Amino acid sequence: MPKVKAVKNQYEMRNPLDQYPRPPFPKQPQTAPGLDAKMTPEPDHGEASYQGFGRLKGRKALITGGDSGIGRAVAIAYAREGADVVINYLPEEEKDAQEVIALIEAAGRKAVAIAGDLKSEKFCQKLIEKTVKALGGLDILVSNAGKQVYRESIADITTKQFDDTFKTNIYALFWLTKAALEHMPPGSAIITTSSINARQPSETLLDYATTKAAIAAFTEALAVQIAPKGIRANTVAPGPFWTVLQPSGGQSQEKVQHFGEKTPLGRPGQPAEIASIYVLLASQESSYMTGGIFPVTGGEFM
């Protein structure tokens, strides 16, 4: 499979218009949840480019959906910034997950892979318990895993799909946060993943967009509630990012071919281009940032 030409140094000045591939892209259907390695072009998660500076030295992070896409990029960045990392993923994503584990370990940090389905409250509680035990604590929770299924009409959305989307995107966030807060000391950070769909909902992503709006509201309310504990909560709102979520049922194949084309920058973002905001929001540099929604949209307005 052709690969994105990796950026060698994320700090070197470049023209963002042609920094990464622009559409059109080939059709490339995959069965959900899909694998990054089967995408054309294969995404850049910062494997060759991300350079850390110890901004998260000694921190302990859990990242859901850490095997691929944005979660993979965040896991790589966190490890290179000095954090030990647990990633959660579905069993079908084992191949991608083990690649991430190897990258974290190559950065000299502890890496733990915990497979399981976030739609289960019991599993979410066990995930927090296992993370705390494996890392000796928890001070960064990145709720990133998401379910997105393209449907032309509400008539095509089954109750099961609606339920699965809400359990993956919203219920899991609630269960994980509730369990994690029992272990998180002052200075900890909770970072959720909303979407441009929270403010600019796509008519073909009705259930997904609804959950992303809920994530934004949840995070804003949570931030006020936990501020007296010295814990911050913020949400990142990605626009069109080139992740396996898109060709594995998140968009029609026609939209995949032109994904990101209508943004002012004329292309989709690569996961490597969003990892740094997750680093900032987890680090002490953002100590006065809480309750915020941070758009990373290639110029599209929220």
Spatial contact of 34 and 247, defined as CB atoms under 8 Å apart: yes
Spatial contact of 86 and 142, defined as CB atoms under 8 Å apart: no
With H, G, I as helix, E, B as strand and everything else as coil, classify residue 47: coil
Instruction: Return all residues near 80 (Cβ < 8 A) that are at least 6 apart.
Output: 50, 51, 52, 107
Active site residues: 208
With H, G, I as helix, E, B as strand and everything else as coil, classify residue 270: coil
User: Residue 237: enclosing H or E segment and its boundaries?
Assistant: strand 232-238
Cα separation, 59 vs 139, whole angstroms: 7
Cis peptide bond prior to 24, omega within 30° of 0: yes
Cα separation, 264 vs 94, whole angstroms: 36
Closest alpha carbon to 247 in 15, 2, 12, 32: 32
Cα separation, 154 vs 44, whole angstroms: 34
Handedness of CA 80, 3, 192, 248 (dihedral sign): negative
Give the torsion through C-alpha atoms of 90, 269, 37, 64, to 10 deg: -20
